[in-house]
Amino acid sequence: MVFVSVIVVNFNRVNLLRECLASLRSQTRLDVEWIVVDNGSDDGSSAMVKLEFPQAKLLQLSDNQGFCAANNAGIAVASGSHIALLNNDAVAEPQWLDALLSEIDTDPTVGMVASKILVASRPGVIDKIGHGIYWDGQNRGRGSGEPDAGQFDAEREILWPDGCAALYRKSMLDQIGGFDEDFFAYADDAELGFRARSAGWRARYAPSAVVHHQRGATLGKWNPSRIRLIERNRVWLAIIHFPLWLLLLNPFFFALRLAAGLLAAISGKGEAGQVKGFRAKIELGLTILHADLDALLGLPKIWSKRKAWRAKRKLNDREVVALLIKYRLGLSELSRNLA
């Protein structure tokens, strides 16, 4: 039995995958199992893995089943007592795994560890340092777009890690379950993290576990499918995990966030400010509305998941709200320029 299994999910990114796996080859940690889960790529990704990285265990899925199902498939065959996830568009520095494992061993109640994720195209700029969350369920990497001046290096406790580069205790996943495959991709790591925290597990951050991430390389930053998944899953996350009173206030907080984003966009700031042209902004708004409709259509199934999880969780509503307060994202942080 190996100590840690690293799972890399891939879909038609052969060159990025090659760089990612090369960084695993350079890790200082040696007792590592590599698992590449290919989501039905047709760009030669699987052939490249077999030829250039024969030490990797390759799972070839018939089609693109999404980030959640692919990771669950990898977890199901993993031999390690710890599960590390690394995006195919991320490159890990040599001490990445050792730093993550050192942090999770500090306490048996720590079930997750976040990496310091930097923007590959902007050296020294933070992509994300674990996650924060807003009152409507919008969750995002903390520190996004900030120069890495060591401002987060003294921190250890976090809300939950970003699935781009994270470590999970296998016993925790066995207890709470893996990724929710209905989410397909995006915010799935937040839902898993929320589930783990409400089950009593803690999360930490390893500042020496550094990876460099090609942000938005999977679908493209403004791909409508990506935006639709992010927005739909935001709503589903809130439905499953928020106290009822906060869930009823969700439209109010959502409107506040949209207003703040619109004001920022007028001056060219924030994510919406990076969308050029009036027509493109209208299309972005329609995509968000479409996603909200999708979320509501899935309400019966998601509500049943809410009821099932609330019967199992260890934290009560007051303790959940305390977590949201401690790790909340403000409107100014959400609406400013991002990495």
Higher pLDDT, 232 or 273: 232
Is 70 a domain residue?
Answer: yes
Of 186, 213, 240, which closes a domain? 213
pLDDT more than 90, % of the chain: 81
User: Could you report the per-residue pLDDT of 168-192, keeping only the tens digit for each?
Assistant: 999 999 999 999 999 999 999 999 9
- Contact predicate 124/143, CB 8 Å: no
Domain match, 158 and 228 both? no
Describe the crossing of helices 224-241 and 299-310 by its angle, rounded to 10 degrees. Answer: 40
CATH number at residue 209: 3.90.550.10
- Contact predicate 193/116, CB 8 Å: no
What's the pLDDT at 264? 75
Domain match, 53 and 183 both? yes
Give yes or no for residue 278 having a pLDDT over 80. no
What's the pLDDT at 210? 98
Is 218 a domain residue?
Answer: no
Give yes or no for residue 140 having a pLDDT over 70. yes
Is 12 exposed, middle or buried, given 0-12, 13-18 or 19+ CB atoms closer than 10 A?
A: middle
Is 220 exposed, middle or buried, given 0-12, 13-18 or 19+ CB atoms closer than 10 A?
A: exposed
Higher pLDDT, 217 or 101: 101
d(CA 163, CA 109): 19
Domain match, 194 and 248 both? no
Give yes or no for residue 309 having a pLDDT over 60. yes
Which residues partner with 7 through β-bridges? 35, 85
d(CA 45, CA 218): 14
Is 30 exposed, middle or buried, given 0-12, 13-18 or 19+ CB atoms closer than 10 A?
A: exposed
What's the pLDDT at 9? 98
CA dihedral 149, 155, 157, 162 (to 10 degrees): 10
Split into its structural domains, the chain has a count of 2
Of 180, 213, 246, which closes a domain? 213
User: Could you report the per-residue pLDDT of 71-105, keeping only the tens digit for each?
Assistant: 999 999 999 999 999 999 999 999 999 999 999 98
Over the chain, what is the mean pLDDT? Answer: 92
Which residues partner with 206 through β-bridges? 115
Mean of pLDDT values over 116-135: 95
Maximal C-alpha separation, the chain: 56
Domain match, 204 and 252 both? no
Domain span holding position 202: 4-213
Mean of pLDDT values over 271-281: 63
- As given in the structure block, the two tokens for residue 206 are 């390893």
Mean of pLDDT values over 291-295: 95
What's the pLDDT at 279? 74
What's the pLDDT at 160? 98
b (16+ CB within 10 A) / e for 111-125: bbbbbbbbbbeeeeb
Domain match, 137 and 161 both? yes
- Could you tell me how far CA 88 lies from the centroid of its own chain? 13
User: Could you report the per-residue pLDDT of 220-260, keeping only the tens digit for each?
Assistant: 566 888 899 999 999 999 999 999 999 999 999 999 998 88
Is 278 a domain residue?
Answer: yes
Domain match, 70 and 209 both? yes
d(CA 31, CA 139): 34
Domain match, 167 and 198 both? yes
Region for residue 6 given its phi and psi (left: phi exceeds 0; alpha: psi -120 to 50; beta: otherwise) = beta
